[in-house]
Structure 1
Amino acid sequence: MTRTAPSSPLHIGRRPLLMATALGWAASRAASAAPAAAPCHPASDWATFAARHIQRDGRVIDFHTPQQQSTSEGQSYSLFFALVHNDKPTFARVLAWTEANLAQGSLATDLPAWQWGKKADGGWGVLDANAASDADLWIAYALMEAGRLWNEPRYAKLGRSLLELVVRDEVVALPGLGRMLLPWPASVASGPLWRLNPSYMPLQLLRYFQQADPRGPWREVSDNTLRMLDAVAPKGFAPDWCAWSQTANAFVADPEKGAVGSYDAIRVYLWAGMLSPRAPERKALLQRLNGPRQLLAERHPMPESVDTATGAGRGTGPAGFGGALLPYLKAQELPEALATESARLPGGRAESSSSAAPTPPLPYYEQVLAVFGQAWLDGRYEFDRDGQLQTSWRLLCRSTRAA
């Protein structure tokens, strides 16, 4: 995404849910004397994304931008997806490119620049050196969990070092609120109005960092994130941006973007939907973010943008929004809406009939949302109560595993 920086079992789409797969396998095994092999997930969404957007050197490209840009966000998501799919070579390549090109050689000493691409003079390099805190959190998380899951201490150590930089440079005690994660380094931010991005703060990651760094600011940041989401979604819709006013001692509309919720905010529902059922804040958060639920339950489409102050929508959200909403709709127990949104994705039920022409690949960001949502729905990963990543590598097809 473009940053605004200072300066019952149900068959869904092209795949059955994990529950349906497991039940079918169990029945087959009971009917046969010979043990059956566990089914696998082809993970074609991840394979398609990697083939289209990840270069051999590990650079993740968004072709739909004039600069053919790469962002720290894109690098961070690809690290996470590679870990989810047990793809060690891709993880290593993406990490190497990120460190070399965005972090001056080391994520242990420098936060990554958020934007890299083609410059006005025709050369290639960093276009905006400011860091984006959401990418920094996802990179740190992917590294720390790769260290645990792959037994690679060097990854865990690097992730912890990066997290320390985040605490040092991007977490600030806001007057009247307390410690909060800024969207960028504190060196380029100032009050009395502090801009914030709700989609930058997945509660899974904040809870995970709280466990990994009990003396750090993460419990306070988590509590303030919940306080923020409760304040800025009066009609059940999250905004792309908001702000903390130390003058009013309250959350207010963003001074530049206003109260609109669109391409950034769609991730807020994605993160909320993927919270563990055992997470104590899940129920209240889903109730607060009930705007999409009400719309889709009444068979209205998710709008492309919403005025979060009034609930009025405009346009129709693209297919990638449906991918982001899959976990949310599962958590909100809306099977019909879940089936409808899944069918909108490439390869979904809508194009499975012989009369339907195959749809072209989704644009970069929409495809990211779809990989997140579909992989979770397929049971390839989940987050536990404390945000730890739970993978299902044994269910991955051999062809999608790392060599």
Structure 2
Amino acid sequence: MATPWLRRLGRWCLLAGALAGAVPAAAATCPWPDWEAFRRTTISQDGRVIDASTPQQVTVSEGQAYGLFFALAANDRATFDRLLAWTENNLAQGDLAAHLPAWIWGRRSEGGQAGTWGVIDANPASDADLWIAYTLLEAGRLWNERRYTALGTLVARRVLREETAVLPGLGRTLLPGPVGFHPEPDLWRLNPSYVPLPVMRRLAAVLTEDSGWKALVDSSARLIVDTAPQGFSPDWAGYRKGRGFVADTQSRADGSYNAIRVYLWAGMMAPRDPLRTTVLQAFRPMADYVATRGHPPEHVDTQTGTFGPNAGNGGFSAALAPYLAALGQDAAAAAQVSRARTLAAQAPFGYYSQVLALFGLGHLAGHFRFEADGTLVPAWESTCPATR
């Protein structure tokens, strides 16, 4: 059942045409143009999500993870299986149960391998790994496929074992990857955009045999809220023993292309999630900025609350729209949807902006939502049973 804000949003979207052809009230009975465009322009025939904006034509594990999620939300099992096979064969040494996927793959440019294609950086990225585990588990449930469930469980267990650590005073916490994020004995580097609470909640609900997942929900909530003292999320944050969260020296406390996802994930939280109000209120200054300026900032100094000179791109607007809608600011959300669509029409979105739009606009249009425990509810499950 649609939430009240989604029903309101559907009414003004239909009136304003802001979603450019998508019909929020009956999204499951209609095509998903954004997904179809992404599949056509960004996913290769063999299942590789390509960032064409980079000279190396790279694929990142995050892109494969997001592609899997969108394919599930669209009930596109053929594309899902191609994405999964490519990920396993090229990023996980042919065995996703035994190896977390490498972070980046593409055309190599250095050393004796220059000009060849393959893994460029083998260190896994935990946000991708979480989304892969989550999506496999939900695919197993929604498509009644035990193979997906088993593989998702194994990936999740490996994440817990290889990509988390118990931080003093914080508890078990997700690290951005297995290597490189513990630069000093009492310091860790963390990323608030890596821990979407619906994903963390679902893994905790499904994998009940390991209490580590419940601890990860708790530490993730603190990471999201406590690293935003001025109401803006940073791309990266430090955590120092005895001091707690501190500004990340490498990123200079900047909030930008990573952090935009924090507001996106917050906007997609279920109304009955017990942390939703706390998280939404933590970022009120971002909503105020957008209401005043008409666009999100590209860069924010999250320690001082000062802004760079440039506006965020259309993907930023697409990511902010669900957050504004969740606050009940329907007109502001509609304006950001319209801005995203206008900018996309002027210049086609690249990989990352496409992803932000698929999440943000897809959620607003009703293609998918999350329950309070993180359960994925795609529109096709309840509205289009004939498509199963």
Query: What is the TM-score when the length of structure 1 is the normalising length?
Result: 0.87
Q: Distance in 2 between matches of 1:17 and 1:236?
A: 32
- Name the aligned partner's letter for residue 252 of structure 2: G
Task: Note if 1:14 corresponds to 2:13.
Answer: no
Q: Distance in 2 between matches of 1:161 and 1:43?
A: 31
- Name the aligned partner's letter for residue 185 of structure 1: P
Contact 2:198 2:374 in 1 (8 A): yes
Question: Which residue of 50, 53, 57 maps to 2:46?
Answer: 57
**1:268 — aligned with what?**
262
Q: Distance in 2 between matches of 1:286 and 1:219?
A: 21
Q: How does 1:146-185 map to 2 (within 5 A)?
A: 146-185=139-178
SS in 1 for 2:165: strand
Question: Which residue of 107, 126, 136 maps to 1:133?
Answer: 126
Task: Note if 1:303 corresponds to 2:297.
Answer: yes
**2:364 — aligned with what?**
377
**1:84 — aligned with what?**
73
**Range 360-369 or range 108-117, more displaced:** 360-369
Residues 126-158 of structure 1: CA deviation (Å, up to 9, x unaligned): 000000000000000110100000000000100
**1:245 — aligned with what?**
240
Q: Distance in 2 between matches of 1:124 and 1:287?
A: 45
Instruction: Evaluate the alpha carbon distance shift between residue 300 and residue 380 of structure 1 in structure 2; reply closer, same or farther with a 3 A threshold.
Output: closer
Q: Distance in 2 between matches of 1:132 and 1:139?
A: 11
- Name the aligned partner's letter for residue 122 of structure 1: G
**1:345 — aligned with what?**
340
Q: Give 5+ residue unaligned stretches, structure 1.
A: 1-7, 23-37, 352-357
Q: How does 1:30-41 map to 2 (within 5 A)?
A: 40-41=29-30
Contact 2:188 2:239 in 1 (8 A): yes
Residues 8-54 of structure 1: CA deviation (Å, up to 9, x unaligned): 421251358866x36xxxxxxxxxxxxxxx98332111111111110
Contact 2:181 2:190 in 1 (8 A): no
Structure 1 or 2: more helix by fraction: 2
Instruction: Evaluate the alpha carbon distance shift between residue 333 and residue 207 of structure 1 in structure 2; reply closer, same or farther with a 3 A threshold.
Output: same
Contact 2:22 2:32 in 1 (8 A): no
Q: Which has the greater radius of gyration? A: 1
Query: What is the TM-score when the length of structure 2 is the normalising length?
Result: 0.90
Contact 2:181 2:188 in 1 (8 A): no
Deviation of residue 216 (structure 1)? Answer: 3.2
Deviation of residue 232 (structure 1)? Answer: 1.4
- Name the aligned partner's letter for residue 243 of structure 1: G
Deviation of residue 177 (structure 1)? Answer: 2.0
Cα RMSD (Å): 2.1
Q: Distance in 1 between matches of 2:28 and 2:78?
A: 24
Task: Note if 1:105 corresponds to 2:94.
Answer: yes
Task: Note if 1:219 corresponds to 2:219.
Answer: no
SS in 2 for 1:127: strand
Residues 75-130 of structure 1: CA deviation (Å, up to 9, x unaligned): 00000000000000000000000000000011100000000000121000000000
- Name the aligned partner's letter for residue 82 of structure 1: A
**2:3 — aligned with what?**
none
**2:353 — aligned with what?**
366
Q: Distance in 1 between matches of 2:158 and 2:66?
A: 19
Instruction: Evaluate the alpha carbon distance shift between residue 14 and residue 209 of structure 1 in structure 2; reply closer, same or farther with a 3 A threshold.
Output: closer
Q: Kindly tell me the number of residue pairs found equivalent between the two proteins.
A: 368
**Range 259-268 or range 211-220, more displaced:** 211-220
Contact 2:100 2:158 in 1 (8 A): yes
- Name the aligned partner's letter for residue 131 of structure 2: W
Instruction: Evaluate the alpha carbon distance shift between residue 396 and residue 269 of structure 1 in structure 2; reply closer, same or farther with a 3 A threshold.
Output: farther
Q: Distance in 2 between matches of 1:39 and 1:57?
A: 27
Q: Distance in 2 between matches of 1:212 and 1:260?
A: 35
Q: Distance in 1 between matches of 2:178 and 2:36?
A: 34
**1:294 — aligned with what?**
288
**1:34 — aligned with what?**
none
Q: Give 5+ residue unaligned stretches, structure 2.
A: 1-7
Instruction: Evaluate the alpha carbon distance shift between residue 14 and residue 205 of structure 1 in structure 2; reply closer, same or farther with a 3 A threshold.
Output: closer
SS in 1 for 2:340: coil
Task: Note if 1:45 corresponds to 2:50.
Answer: no
Deviation of residue 228 (structure 1)? Answer: 2.1
Residues 278-335 of structure 1: CA deviation (Å, up to 9, x unaligned): 0000001100111221112224421100011111111100000011112101101112
- Name the aligned partner's letter for residue 233 of structure 1: A
**1:114 — aligned with what?**
103
SS in 1 for 2:149: helix
Q: Distance in 2 between matches of 1:323 and 1:157?
A: 34
Deviation of residue 199 (structure 1)? Answer: 0.2
Question: Which residue of 192, 198, 206 maps to 2:192?
Answer: 198
SS in 1 for 2:97: coil
